[in-house]
Structure 1
Amino acid sequence: MARVSAKDRSLQFVQAAARVIARDGAGAATTRRIAAEAEAPLAALHYCFRSKDELLEEVYRYLSADYARALPPMSPGASIEETITQHAHRIWNRMLAEPHEQVTTLELLLRRYRLDAEEQERALAVNRTMYEGWVKSTAELFRQGAANSAMEEGRDFEIIAWFFVATIDGVSMQHLSDPNEARSARLIEALIDATIHMVHRRD
C-alpha cells in the first residue's frame, strides 16, 4: 500500500469532515465518524490534528481559502460586467456541483449558537474571518474589473461585495431547502443585474 503523506492525509480528514458535517451536523461529527468517512485509522487523525476543534478550524479554512482557489480562473482583462457575471456563475456552478460544501459552511457558521458562552466569542471571530475573506477577495475582483473598464474611482466595492456575498448565501440556502434550478438561475441573473447596477450607480 502506498504511503500517504501527512499533508494529503490531513486534506482527506478535512474533506471527510466536511461530508460528515453536511450529512449529520456539526455536533454529530465525531473524530471516529470522520476517520471512518476518510477510511483511515483514528490514530492517524489524532496525529494530524490535536483536537476536533483544530480539525474544524481547518475545515473553515478549506471552505474559504481553498474554495476560492478551486474556482475556475477569471478571464484576463475582463470588464466589470464580465467580472461580476463570471464570478457569480462560477460560484453558483460550484454550489450545484458540491452542495455539501455549502451545507457544511452553514452548519459551521451557526455552530456558535450551540456553544458555551465562553466559546462563542472565538467562534464569532472565526465566522467574521471567513466572511471578511470572502468579501475582501470579491471586492478585489470587482476593483480589478473596474480598472480594466477604466471606471472612475469612488465606488464602495466593499459594500457591493457584502451585498453580492449575502445574496449568494440567500439563494444557496433557498435552493438547498427547496431545490429549483430554473428559479435559482433566474435569481443569480437578478443578482448579476443588481450588482452591475450598484457598480454604475453614482450617489
Structure 2
Amino acid sequence: MAHMPVTERRTRLLSAAFEVIARSGVSGATTRAIVDEADMKLASFHYAFESREDLLAQLVDVVVDTQEVVLGIPADTAGGLRELLERGLLSYFDQVRANPLHERAMFELTQYALRTPSMAGVAERQYGRYRALAEASLREAAARTGCAWQTPVPELAADLVALTDGITLAWLADGDDERAHRTIAFAARALAAEATPDPSPRPHFPRNKPLPGADSDVSANEHAETMETS
C-alpha cells in the first residue's frame, strides 16, 4: 500500500470500526476485524491509534460532532409550537427508522464507554453535545412560533434528549411505529405546555409624564371650567 497520511489512516479506521460495531457490536470490533474492514495492515492501526479504546473514544466524538440538529424541523412547517415540535420529532424518528444499526452502535458505544475507565468522560461529552443541539432546536421552535419558554431551556433540552433516547430504544426493542408516533405526540404536547405566547412589548411611559392625549384632555377641562366661571 502506498504511503497514506496519518489523518487519512485514522479516518478510514474510524469508518471501518463503526461499520463493524453496527454489524457485530463492540465486542466484535476487535483490532483485527477493524483493519480487515478497512483493508489495511495491523501495523497501520498502531501507527494511527494508541489502543482500541483510543479509537473507540475518538469514534464517539467524531460521530457526535457530525450531528447538526436534534429536531430537523422543515422550513415550511406551519402551525403552532406543538405542531413544530411534533414534526421535528417525527423527522428525527424517520432517521432512526432509516438507519437502526447506527442507533444500536451509538447505544453500545455509550455503554462501553461507561464501563471502561480509560474512556472516562466520553459519554458525558456525548450527552453534553446532544443537550446543546436540543437546546438550539427548542430555541428555534420558540422563535418561529412567537412563544416563550417558561422553564429554563437547558432543563427542557435535557428532557428532550431523554425523550428521544426513550423513543429510540423502545422502537429498537419492539419496532412498533404506531406506539412511537403516540409517544412523539405526547412528547410534543408535554414540551409545548412549558411555553406561553411571547407577549408583545407594551409601550413604556416614564412616571410623572402625561400619557399621549392627556394634554388635550387637560386643556379641554380647563376650557370647560373657564366657561362655567364666566
- 1:87-109 CA-to-partner distances (Å, cap 9, x unmatched) read 31232122111112211111122
Taking the TM superposition and a 5 Å limit, the aligned residue runs for 1:160-199 are 160-199=156-195
Taking the TM superposition and a 5 Å limit, the aligned residue runs for 1:91-170 are 91-112=92-113, 114-115=115-116, 119=117, 122-123=119-120, 125-152=121-148, 154-170=150-166
Q: Aligned-pair RMSD on alpha carbons?
A: 3.2
8 Å CA contact 1:71, 1:94 repeated in 2 = no
CA–CA separation in structure 1 for the residues paired with 2:23 and 2:33: 11
1:66 deviates by 0.8
Secondary structure of the structure 1 residue equivalent to 2:16: helix
1:24 deviates by 2.8
Give unpaired runs (5+ residues) of structure 2. Answer: 198-230
1:63 deviates by 2.7
Structure with greater Cα Rg = 2
- Specify the alignment match of 1:54 in structure 2: 54
- Specify the alignment match of 1:87 in structure 2: 88
2:91 is aligned with what amino acid? R
CA–CA separation in structure 2 for the residues paired with 1:149 and 1:97: 29
CA–CA separation in structure 1 for the residues paired with 2:71 and 2:12: 19
Secondary structure of the structure 1 residue equivalent to 2:195: helix
Percent of residue pairs bearing the same amino acid type? 26
TM-score, structure 1 length as denominator?
A: 0.78
8 Å CA contact 2:57, 2:113 repeated in 1 = no
Cα distance, 1:163–1:150 mapped onto 2, change above 3 Å: same
- Specify the alignment match of 1:42 in structure 2: 42
Taking the TM superposition and a 5 Å limit, the aligned residue runs for 1:16-27 are 16-27=16-27
Cα distance, 1:69–1:141 mapped onto 2, change above 3 Å: closer
Which structure features the higher share of helix residues?
Answer: 1
Work out whether 1:31 is the aligned partner of 2:31. Answer: yes
- 1:138-183 CA-to-partner distances (Å, cap 9, x unmatched) read 1122113222333346531112111111111112111112212222
Secondary structure of the structure 2 residue equivalent to 1:27: helix
1:83 deviates by 4.6
Cα distance, 1:47–1:199 mapped onto 2, change above 3 Å: farther
Q: Does 180-189 or 67-76 show the bigger shift?
A: 67-76
1:51 deviates by 2.2
CA–CA separation in structure 2 for the residues paired with 1:80 and 1:2: 55
TM-score, structure 2 length as denominator?
A: 0.70
- Specify the alignment match of 1:67 in structure 2: 67
- Specify the alignment match of 1:15 in structure 2: 15
8 Å CA contact 1:12, 1:38 repeated in 2 = yes
Cα distance, 1:44–1:146 mapped onto 2, change above 3 Å: same
